Amino acid sequence: MENNNEELQYINLIKEILEKGIDEITRNGNTCSIFGSMMKFSLIDGKIPILTTKKVAIKTCFEELMWFIKGNTDNKLLQQKNVKIWNDNSTREFLDSQGLFHLKENDLGPVYGHQWRYFNAEYIDCNTDYKGKGIDQLSYIINCLKDPDKRTSRRLIISSWNPCQLNEMALPPCHIMIQFNVRAGKYLSCAMYQRSCDMGLGVPFNITSYSFLTHLIAHHCDLEAESFIYFMGNCHIYKDHIESLNLQIKNIPYQFPKILIKNKYDNIEDYSYTDIEWLEKYKSYDKINMKMIA
């Protein structure tokens, strides 16, 4: 089997943390951690890095991404798509533990989607229409990327980290800054910085999500997706995940799949999972269960 050296970046980082990481007692459990790492993945010719050493929930990942893109913060919209990843952070008990007594259950406050589309707009609740309020960071990026004179800008940045509203969020953002870069007028790359990296559950999801985002924006703006660069701050493994990850790192990675986005729309919000065609199918090992730690 030909080595998938790009997935080996993840496997080797897991091994490094297990061998050299420091045991820490944290907000939500005991971890083994290191600080500072990076990975780089090719997106050329439709390649998309979805880890193969365990099964990743691809559609769940895509639906959450579209939830961000649409500026949504209501967990019920994810539940309607059978997406459960925010459930533990949106219960009455969890919201109350964060002092968010005014938010209704399943209202997550001004999290990712709000900051991407309405940055710093006063947050009322998840049902309020915020159109025209705050800063629409995503539209700014798209407009610049569509303009040959602006796509070379070094200011193509989206920030999810808004200190003014952190205390209103059910969970402060982990993946906090995105930068887009166009090379030679047509090749789009995305770099993302993540402050807190749950290596077992979160990181595989984040790799897939931001690679989907880069492919989607490249397609939408008549560019070609080239790479996703992943900068990582606190890289940690929860003690409850060690046994599962020790199984995963024994698996030899398959090659990553390839996708084609079939249709093009005027509005970035109009894409759906059915617009993705699999040029090379996703092949992986079985699902490896790990407990979600809120």
> What's the half-sphere exposure (Cβ side, CA atoms, 13 Å) at 40?
4
How does strand 157-159 pair with strand 29-42?
Answer: unpaired
Structure token digits, residue 54: 């365990």
Helical H segments across the chain, by residue range: 5-20, 58-69, 75-79, 92-97, 112-118, 137-146, 202-220, 242-248
Give catalytic residues, as residue numbers: 174
Write the single-letter amino acid at 246. Answer: N
CA neighbor of 252 nearest in space, from 38, 79, 5: 5
Q: Distance (Å, rounded) from C-alpha 215 to C-alpha 156?
A: 16
Helical H segments across 40-180, by residue range: 58-69, 75-79, 92-97, 112-118, 137-146
CA neighbor of 211 nearest in space, from 170, 261, 252, 139: 261
Q: Distance (Å, rounded) from C-alpha 120 to C-alpha 116?
A: 10
